[in-house]
Structure 1
Amino acid sequence: MSKVLIIGAGGVGNVVVKKCAMLPNVFSDIMLASRTLPKVEAAAKEVKELTGRTIQTAKVDADNVQELVTLIKNFEPKLVINVALPYQDLPIMDACLETKTNYLDTANYEPKDVAKFEYSWQWAYKKRFEDAGIMALLGCGFDPGVTGVFTAHAAKYHFDKDGMEYLDIVDCNAGSHGKAFATNFNPEINIREITQRGKYWENGDWKETEPLEINRMINYPEVGPKKSFLLFHEELESLTKNFPSLKRARFWMTFSDEYITHLKVLENVGMTRIDEVEYQGQKIVPLQFLKAVLPEPASLGENYEGQTSIGCHIRGKKDGKPAYFFIHNNCDHAKTYKEIGAQAVSYTTGVPAMIGAKMMLEEKWMKAGVWNVEEFNPDPFMEDLNKYGLEWHEKSSDFVEFND
């Protein structure tokens, strides 16, 4: 019996629970838990309609370790899939340690009071997870997640040992949801991510930029050229650690001019602040209030059109000669909505989380400690991407299509 507890019932959580429910031979019993019980119950109803399976539901405060411990002890899952907020990674990891339960997440820890995400807090759990005989798999969404698996695949098959030198991860959402302004995943996390300083790896050191300071036009398959902005993204931290031959690693993401204009206005009027302000005798965080009035990412799917396109451009050496490799996935918003009622950004995060959980439960990826996805054999994960809705395409040559 492979019981799994999924914590978080937002857009990604809805994808994960539905995809898990489609594989009863892997996920024999499923519980979905969240602070907001009506969201959990609504998701359970959709799972029943889609798959015919009945899942268990629960209310839990993912900031409260003892609540989590009680829930885990009562349900006794083999694995906890954390698709809650990044602030809650450490409490959930603490609960998994106390109950000796395996753990998986899609985004690394971020403290509430500082817009800064890095792996140091979670990597510090490595020995404790080893001593407990359990595994934590970090960042198993698309980016981070699939981009790390793509890079591991490239290192294994397309470059010499220590032959990868330049990595550019490119992320485009060319879809249109018809809203004046909306974020494709949790608004609070999304806006914190893109309003902080940019950062990239070059020649053994981190180079910082002003927020959204650097942009360039990048050509995306089936989409065409789109203005793309240099951001810091968490997989850069783990990939440069695990592939030390990289001389440079960067991350690029597309934003429309309309999106940037809205964002600048919100910044200028103080709505992206993460510190508390007093309003009518109460303390509120402006960004959390903004999140409450923006459209729920899970609600965007119905009228969403267009595609996402995410991939890795890699340069280096193969057989001692210059080599170029590109691997990507394109995902269609309308198709993912038709399949499970989700837009493609939620889908591209939720499907890899399900696959990572499958890898762990089938013990294809199972090793005590705290790990990033690129530290495992990419082959079975890559096979399942094609099988469960995220087909990938690759090409290699000595002709460089992505350069400075």
Structure 2
Amino acid sequence: MSKVLIIGAGGVGQVVVHKCAQVPEVFSEIHLASRTKSKCDAIAKQVKDRWKRDVQTHALDADNVQETVALIRKVKPDLLLNVALPYQDLALMEACLETGVDYLDTANYEPKDVAKFEYKWQWAYQERFQQAGIMALLGSGFDPGVTNVFTAYAAKHHFDEIRELDILDANAGQHGQHFATNFNPEINIREVTAKGRFWENGEWKETEPLSVKQSYDFPEGIGPMNIYLMYHEELESLARHFPTLKRARFWMTFSDNYLKHLEVLQNVGMTRIDPVDYKGCKVIPLEFLKALLPDPGSLGPLTKGRTCIGNIVKGTKDGKEREYYIYNICDHQQAYAEVGSQAISYTTGVPAMIGAMMMLTKKWSKPGVWNMEQFDPDPFMDALNKHGLPWTEVFLKG
């Protein structure tokens, strides 16, 4: 029986609260905090109506360390579950250090003024978390998160040596909007417009944004889709923790319509993250664009279709070449029917709940700052099947 404090009331936060409410034997008390308390109250009402669970809500500026410290001391949670913005990771980790509370997030830290997300800032907390006797679990979403666990599971059960890894993230859903992002527009566009980056033969190699593409025929009737080479943060930790990797890449699908709109927005400067002067005011174009675009939360009832996210792993087993594909397919409408959010939020929120469950039940427990692949994958993999993200594995060779 444990108490959890969830920070962030967006689409992912909504899923996390719903999923925690479904596991009362672990999450006996749920607290939800956000800058806008009314968002928390709306989620709390959903959960009360659907699952007959009470959720206590709080207003919080997650950038303010002392404000978070005060809330932690008031609530006395066993775990702080961070599904706020990645800009706020370090402030929330500082609050956990000051109060001696375990920490979990779904995305690594990114400075507000530089579109560069990497683990170095959070890995630097390793010694302080160890000395405090508390644990931080980084990137407990799907990618990063489940894809890391998929890799660890493949290494444990199916490979003696992993040499190549391709992570494929396909969204075959349609929402009918001219241009919209399935999660926070600011984070999404910063990520997509960044240079591609992949690991090969012991070094990082860069490509121009979305300049490398190929077609992949996705399983279970989804069919062929264009996939684009991008950088994604799980590559950094996987290359570090699987030293036999000769190549690791991340691919994501985008519709031609999305890319056309994005190109125009880039060309006119609407994706810039540096301030511009407008009538005596400093305006960041991307933040203004975010205010114009549909709220990702509003896409839930509109979105139809499925996602398919998984890993293609190549290496050897018992001296023979092996190629292996492990993936999850998630239906947008089924996710919305269960928790009121589409599959993009669902595939991030469910693993966040499962990661919290691993920590609170002590199946994953070790002071310090850790990535998902550094723990036994088996209990997490079992929980995916039980809590809405069943996985399929296929041996393509060997």
Q: TM-score range by the shorter chain?
A: over 0.9
Alpha-carbon distance between aligned partners in 2 of 1:269 and 1:397, rounded to the nearest angstrom? 45
2:116 equivalent in structure 1: 116
Alpha-carbon distance between aligned partners in 1 of 2:235 and 2:71, rounded to the nearest angstrom? 34
1:319 equivalent in structure 2: 318
1:157 equivalent in structure 2: 157
Provide the aligned length of Structure 1 versus Structure 2. 397
1:402 equivalent in structure 2: none
Q: Per-residue displacement from partner, 1:42-90 (whole Å, max 9, x unpaired)?
A: 1111111111111100000011000000000100001000000000000
Structure 2 vs 1, CA of residues 205 and 188 (structure 1 numbering), >3 Å: closer, same or farther? same
The secondary structure found in structure 2 opposite 1:363 is: coil
Alpha-carbon distance between aligned partners in 1 of 2:331 and 2:353, rounded to the nearest angstrom? 19
1:197 equivalent in structure 2: 195
1:183 equivalent in structure 2: 181
Following superposition of structure 1 onto structure 2, how do residues 238-387 of structure 1 map, counting pairs within 5 Å? Answer: 238-387=237-386
2:9 equivalent in structure 1: 9
Alpha-carbon distance between aligned partners in 2 of 1:259 and 1:205, rounded to the nearest angstrom? 31
Alpha-carbon distance between aligned partners in 1 of 2:153 and 2:327, rounded to the nearest angstrom? 12
1:91 paired with 2:91, answer: yes
Alpha-carbon distance between aligned partners in 1 of 2:278 and 2:385, rounded to the nearest angstrom? 50
2:171 equivalent in structure 1: 173
Alpha-carbon distance between aligned partners in 1 of 2:285 and 2:67, rounded to the nearest angstrom? 28
2:211 equivalent in structure 1: 213
Q: Per-residue displacement from partner, 1:117-145 (whole Å, max 9, x unpaired)?
A: 00000000000000000000000000000
Alpha-carbon distance between aligned partners in 1 of 2:387 and 2:52, rounded to the nearest angstrom? 19
Alpha-carbon distance between aligned partners in 2 of 1:183 and 1:303, rounded to the nearest angstrom? 13
Deviation at 1:397, TM superposition (A): 4.3
Identity of aligned residues (%): 65
Unaligned runs of 5+ in 2: none
Alpha-carbon distance between aligned partners in 2 of 1:346 and 1:296, rounded to the nearest angstrom? 13
Alpha-carbon distance between aligned partners in 2 of 1:280 and 1:341, rounded to the nearest angstrom? 40
Alpha-carbon distance between aligned partners in 2 of 1:172 and 1:54, rounded to the nearest angstrom? 35
Alpha-carbon distance between aligned partners in 2 of 1:278 and 1:133, rounded to the nearest angstrom? 47
Amino acid across the alignment from 1:351: V
Alpha-carbon distance between aligned partners in 2 of 1:126 and 1:297, rounded to the nearest angstrom? 34
Alpha-carbon distance between aligned partners in 2 of 1:50 and 1:181, rounded to the nearest angstrom? 32
Deviation at 1:10, TM superposition (A): 0.3
2:71 equivalent in structure 1: 71
Alpha-carbon distance between aligned partners in 2 of 1:218 and 1:171, rounded to the nearest angstrom? 11
TM normalised by structure 1 equals: 0.97
Alpha-carbon distance between aligned partners in 1 of 2:55 and 2:38, rounded to the nearest angstrom? 14
The secondary structure found in structure 2 opposite 1:302 is: coil
Deviation at 1:294, TM superposition (A): 0.8
| Deviation larger for 50-59 or 347-356 | 50-59
The secondary structure found in structure 1 opposite 2:227 is: strand
Alpha-carbon distance between aligned partners in 1 of 2:290 and 2:172, rounded to the nearest angstrom? 22
The secondary structure found in structure 2 opposite 1:107 is: coil
Alpha-carbon distance between aligned partners in 1 of 2:41 and 2:294, rounded to the nearest angstrom? 20
Alpha-carbon distance between aligned partners in 2 of 1:55 and 1:303, rounded to the nearest angstrom? 27
1:82 equivalent in structure 2: 82
Q: Per-residue displacement from partner, 1:171-210 (whole Å, max 9, x unpaired)?
A: 0000001111100110000000010111000000000000
Alpha-carbon distance between aligned partners in 1 of 2:259 and 2:394, rounded to the nearest angstrom? 33
Deviation at 1:105, TM superposition (A): 0.2
Alpha-carbon distance between aligned partners in 2 of 1:211 and 1:397, rounded to the nearest angstrom? 30
2:126 equivalent in structure 1: 126
The secondary structure found in structure 2 opposite 1:84 is: coil
Amino acid across the alignment from 1:91: A
The secondary structure found in structure 2 opposite 1:108 is: coil
Alpha-carbon distance between aligned partners in 2 of 1:334 and 1:280, rounded to the nearest angstrom? 44
Deviation at 1:280, TM superposition (A): 2.6
CA-atom RMSD in angstroms: 0.7
| Deviation larger for 278-287 or 345-354 | 278-287
1:389 equivalent in structure 2: 388
Amino acid across the alignment from 1:70: A
Alpha-carbon distance between aligned partners in 1 of 2:346 and 2:394, rounded to the nearest angstrom? 24
Q: Per-residue displacement from partner, 1:78-120 (whole Å, max 9, x unpaired)?
A: 1000000000000000000000100000000000000000000
TM normalised by structure 2 equals: 0.99
Amino acid across the alignment from 1:124: A
Alpha-carbon distance between aligned partners in 2 of 1:151 and 1:225, rounded to the nearest angstrom? 24
The secondary structure found in structure 2 opposite 1:299 is: helix
Deviation at 1:339, TM superposition (A): 1.0
Deviation at 1:8, TM superposition (A): 0.3
Alpha-carbon distance between aligned partners in 2 of 1:221 and 1:343, rounded to the nearest angstrom? 20
1:49 equivalent in structure 2: 49
Alpha-carbon distance between aligned partners in 2 of 1:45 and 1:388, rounded to the nearest angstrom? 22
